[in-house]
Amino acid sequence: MDINKKYTPHSWPDHPETATMEGKNKFVGFWLLLAAESVTFASLFATYLALKDKGPSGMEFTAAGLFELPLVFAMTMILLTSSLTSVYAMYHMKNHNFKSMQAWLAVTVLLGATFLGLEIYEFNHYVHLGFGYTNSAFSSAFYTLVGTHGAHVLFGLGWFIALMVRNAKRGLNTYNAPKFFLVSLYWHFIDVVWVFIFTVVYLMGVIG
């Protein structure tokens, strides 16, 4: 594999992410990691469900009393949209249109950062209500589940930015195409987890 090889949209392979052996390996390996991540998040969800609304006697916090849907709705829309913008980025990656890909990735990063900002605001709000991490079994399980997702978002943002900055000057080749592809897969997976979080934690929490 020659990193300095220049491609044109005409010579760009159909599946640049798996055009090299390294790319194929990364592709399969990353999906396997996602399978492991599914079990990781399942363990967190399961624990959350087991500990929901559980606390020391006299605990005043319950999911139904705590969560507010408008903020969660906004966060959901933002994250879903960022999933679409990363699809756009991959569309341009496959067309070997580097500038547009970078632009859509930048939009994705902005949306992801907004999401993360709202999540921090939400956590901060709860902590001010007295619902801290050490408040109860419920609070520990809630912050660990949603916080682990948030940490994944943060890691994803760092990954996006690192790739964009690193490759800003040299454009697309078969060496970095798998990297861009994987981070977008990762981003979709984060979205999948969030779909379950807003359903199981927030919606099912509000109805008690």
Partner 1 sequence: MAHDVHEHVRTKEEYEYVRRQRAQEMRHMLTSFAMMIFLTLIAFTAVAAGFSTYLIVPIILLLAAIQVVLQLYHFMHLSNKGSGTIAFFMFSGMFVAFIVILTFVTIIWW
Partner 2 sequence: MSSNAQKSGFGATIWDYMTSVDHKKIAILYLMSGGLFFLIGGIEAMMIRIQLMKAGNDFLSAGTYNEVLTMHGTTMIFLAAMPLLLGFMNAIMPLQIGARDVAFPFLNSLGFWLFFFGGVFLNLSWFLGGAPDAGWTNYASLALASESHGIDFYSLGLTISGFGTLISGINFLVTIINMRAPGMTYMRMPLFTWTTFVASALILLAFPPLTIAIFFMVFDRLFGSHFFDVAAGGNTIIWEHLFWIFGHPEVYILILPAFGIFSEIFAIFSRKRLFGYTALVFATILIGFYGFMVWAHHMFTVGLGPTANAIFALATMIIAVPTGVKIFNWLLTIWGGSVSFATPMLYAVGFIPSFVAGGVTGVMQAMAPLDYQLHDSYFIVAHFHYVIVGGVVLAIFAATHLYWPKMFGTMLSEKLGKVTFWLFFIGFHLTFFIQHFLGLMGMPRRVYTFGADQGWDLFNAISSAGAIFMALGVIILLVNVIMTTVKNERVGNDPWGDGRTLEWAIPSPPPFYNFAQTPLVRGLDTYWIEKMEGNKEGMIYAEPLGDIHMPNNSFIPVVMSFGLFVASFGALYHPDDLPWTVPVIVLGLLITFGSMLLRSLKDDLGFHVHKEDLIKDREGVKTDGHQ
- Can you give the binding site for partner 1, defined by CB under 8 A? 1, 9-11, 13-14, 19-21, 27-28, 31-32, 34-36, 38-39, 41-43, 45-47, 49-50, 69, 73, 76-77, 80, 83-84, 87-88, 91, 94-95, 174, 185, 188-189, 191-192, 195-196, 198-200, 203-204, 206-208
What are the CA-CA distances from residue 108 to residues 97, 141, 152, 169, 178 (Å)? Answer: 17, 29, 15, 20, 18
Whether the Cβ atoms of residue 157 and residue 109 lie closer than 8 Å to each other: yes
Judged by beta carbon distances under 5 to 8 A according to partner kind, the member of partner 1, partner 2, none in contact with residue 154 is none
Give 26 or 132: the residue with its C-beta nearer to partner 1.
Answer: 26
Give 8 or 57: the residue with its C-beta nearer to partner 2.
Answer: 57
Q: Which of residues 89-108 bind partner 2 (CB under 8 A)?
A: none
Segment (H or E) for 90: helix 69-94
* Residue 122 in the binding site for partner 2 (CB under 8 A): no
* Residue 8 in the binding site for partner 2 (CB under 8 A): no
Residue-by-residue DSSP string for 93-161 = HHTT-HHHHHHHHHHHHHHHHHHHHHHHHHHHHHHHHT--TTS-HHHHHHHHHHHHHHHHHHHHHHHHH
Residue whose tokens read 């079990």 = 39
SS3 18: helix
Whether the Cβ atoms of residue 115 and residue 190 lie closer than 8 Å to each other: no
Task: Choose, by CB under 8 A, the member of 15, 50, 64, 151 that binds partner 2.
Answer: 50
Whether the Cβ atoms of residue 155 and residue 50 lie closer than 8 Å to each other: no
Least CB distance to partner 1 at residue 128 (A): 25
Whether the Cβ atoms of residue 112 and residue 153 lie closer than 8 Å to each other: yes
Judged by beta carbon distances under 5 to 8 A according to partner kind, the member of partner 2, partner 1, none in contact with residue 151 is none
Please report, as a single letter, which amino acid is at residue 5.
K
Least CB distance to partner 1 at residue 36 (A): 7
**Contact positions vs partner 2 (CB under 8 A):** 1, 3, 21, 24-25, 28-29, 32-33, 35-37, 39-40, 43-44, 47, 50-51, 54-56, 59, 133-134, 136-141, 144, 158-159, 162-163, 166, 175
